[in-house]
Amino acid sequence: MGACTSCEDKELVAPASMGDLQGVKDALRCHAPIDRREGDSGLSALIAAASHRQLAVVQHLLRARANVNLQDCEGRTALIAAASRTENLDVVKCLVEEGAAKCNLADGERCTALMFAAREHQADVVKCLLKHSADANLKNSAGTTALIMAVNGATEVPYSSKHRDDRRSFVETMRHLINSDHFNINATNDQGCTALLVACCRQHNEAVKYLISQGADVDIQSEDGRTALICAVYRNNASLVKFLVEVAGADPFLQDATGMTARDRAEQAQNDTIATYLKKKMAER
């Protein structure tokens, strides 16, 4: 008798995070509060299980009516926790399909599950969340969209099968976001940077070319007046400069906040190749 009357204090988070389904069942049978938040972070059993890819535990907790939209001390829900981890599609699907989790709930930094999935280039999770009405145009506290997060987390390393798979997943992530309802490909963050500007700064040529092919505006300027072309010049990326001018139609006469054009920046950096090229293209206009 004494064992079960004190069981209300039995931990749920530890067995849930370890995938100890029987331990979770025992705790619930002894009336441990299913939505109790434990520790300094305020984790619930469902959030812990979702974060640790414990599908069977997640399913059991949902059937036992755990609050699928409960947030921890940082504002994370089970769905956000699941989407933040790679190789966790089954848990994400379970939360949105069986638990009817709200896809657009955000954490304390206003980041949604979609943003985290996009950052990790989890194309299948992004597709699943969009199917369940995730809003790809939402911005976090820094004004960053899921697309900008995806681009910001990308690297261009083509030399192994893993990196090829990563690049394929990255492009698929961008494609799903851009093809979502009413998507704004030219949305800017708090610095006025679009996904295209970020891609240029990151020197991700593949992302730049894809974004241009999908209608990204090549001449949008950031708060300090930078264009995609000026960003490419900053990075001394001659091939990207040529692509932006000749294929994307970038305007080489646009000036940044200090009154300098891309050519001026190239001359300042003593990059004679880019400076000479831009001088020629400006003379042709």
Per-residue model confidence as pLDDT tens digits over 173-186: 999 999 999 999 99
* Contact in structure between 134 and 92 (CB atoms under 8 Å): no
The Cα-based distances of 278 to 100, 222, 262, 267, 273 in angstroms read 54, 21, 8, 10, 9
> Is the pLDDT assigned to residue 16 strictly greater than 60?
yes
- pTM of the complete model: 0.92
> Is the pLDDT assigned to residue 247 strictly greater than 90?
yes
β partners of residue 106 = 112
> Is the pLDDT assigned to residue 210 strictly greater than 80?
yes
Report the pLDDT averaged over residues 45-62.
98
Residue 156: predicted pLDDT: 54
**CB-based contacts of 126: which residues, under 8 Å, 6+ apart?**
114, 117, 118, 146, 173, 176, 177
Q: Which domains does the chain have, with CATH numbers?
A: 1-102 (1.25.40.20), 110-184 (1.25.40.20), 186-284 (1.25.40.20)
